[in-house]
Amino acid sequence: MNSDRSAAQESSPGESASEPGRAVVLGAGIAGLLAARVLSEHFAEVLLVERDPLDADDPRRGVPQARHLHGLLDRGRTVLEQLYPGFTAELTELGAGTAEALVGTRWYLSGLRAAPTSTGLTSLMATRPVLESVIRRRTLATPGIGWCTGTARGLLGDAGEVTAVLLSDGSGIRPRAADLIVDATGRGSRAPQWLATLGACAPAEERLEVDLGYASALFPCADGQLDGHRSVIISTGAGGRGGGAIRVEGDRWHVTLAGMLGDHPPTDPAGFADFAATLAAPDIHRLITAAEPAGGWGRTARDQHTIVPHKFRAPVRRRFDRLPSVPRGFLVLGDALCSVNPLYAQGMTVAAQQALVLRDCLTAGAGADLPARFYTAASDVVDVAWRLSAGSDLANPGVTGPRTLRTRLTNAYVARAHRAAHLDPVVSRTFLRVANLVEPPAALLRPDLARRILWRRDGGTGPADAPAVAEPTG
Backbone angles phi, psi at 258, to 5 degrees: -145, 150
Q: Are residues 120 and 142 in the same domain?
A: no
In-domain check, residue 82: yes
Cis before residue 20, ω within 30 degrees of 0? yes
The dihedral through the CA atoms of 292, 298, 304, 306 has a sign that is: negative
Largest CA-CA distance found in the chain, in angstroms, rounded: 76
pLDDT of amino acid 150: 94
Residues 6 or more apart in contact with residue 465 via CB below 8 angstroms = none
Is the pLDDT confidence value at 15 over 90?
Answer: no
Write the single-letter amino acid at 115: A
Give me the number of domains the chain comprises.
2
Q: Is 156 helix (H, G, I), strand (E, B) or coil?
A: strand
In-domain check, residue 413: no
pLDDT of amino acid 68: 81
Tell me the pLDDT tens digit for each residue of 248-302. Answer: 988 999 999 999 999 999 999 999 999 999 999 999 999 999 988 876 655 444 4
Indicate whether this model's pTM tops 0.85.
Answer: yes
pLDDT of amino acid 400: 87
- The CATH number linked to 141 is 3.50.50.60
In-domain check, residue 19: yes
Mean per-residue pLDDT for 347-360?
A: 97
Q: How confident is the model at residue 6 (pLDDT cuts 50, 70, 90)?
A: very low
Mean per-residue pLDDT for 236-255?
A: 90
Q: Are residues 244 and 334 in the same domain?
A: no
Q: Are residues 58 and 157 in the same domain?
A: yes
Mean per-residue pLDDT for 183-201?
A: 96
Q: How confident is the model at residue 230 (pLDDT cuts 50, 70, 90)?
A: very high
Distance (Å, whole) CA 212 – CA 2: 41
Q: Are residues 377 and 245 in the same domain?
A: no
Give 238 or 431, the one with higher predicted confidence.
Answer: 431
**Mind giving me the DSSP string for 214-278?**
EEEEEEE--TTGGGG-SEEEE---TTSEEEEEEEETTTEEEEEEEESTT-PPPSSHHHHHHHHHT
201 CB burial (10 A radius; 0-12, 13-18, 19+)? middle
The dihedral through the CA atoms of 81, 136, 148, 195 has a sign that is: positive
Backbone angles phi, psi at 245, to 5 degrees: -145, 130
Distance (Å, whole) CA 312 – CA 315: 8
Q: How confident is the model at residue 53 (pLDDT cuts 50, 70, 90)?
A: confident
Mean per-residue pLDDT for 2-14?
A: 36
In-domain check, residue 462: no
Tell me the pLDDT tens digit for each residue of 400-430. Answer: 888 899 999 999 999 999 999 999 999 999 9
pLDDT of amino acid 469: 34
Angle between helix 447-454 and helix 405-423 axes, rounded to 10 deg: 80
In-domain check, residue 217: yes
Mean pLDDT rounded to a whole number for the chain = 88
pLDDT of amino acid 294: 73
Strands of 173-177's sheet in order across: 151-157, 162-168, 173-177
Q: How confident is the model at residue 7 (pLDDT cuts 50, 70, 90)?
A: very low
pLDDT of amino acid 474: 31
- Contact in structure between 290 and 180 (CB atoms under 8 Å): no
End-to-end CA distance of the chain: 56
Q: Which domain holds residue 364?
A: 6-63+134-207+315-389
Pairing of strands 145-149, 45-50: parallel
- The CATH number linked to 257 is 3.30.9.30
pLDDT of amino acid 299: 46
Is the pLDDT confidence value at 13 over 70?
Answer: no
> Could you tell me if residue 75 is left (phi over 0), alpha (psi between -120 and 50 degrees) or otherwise beta?
alpha
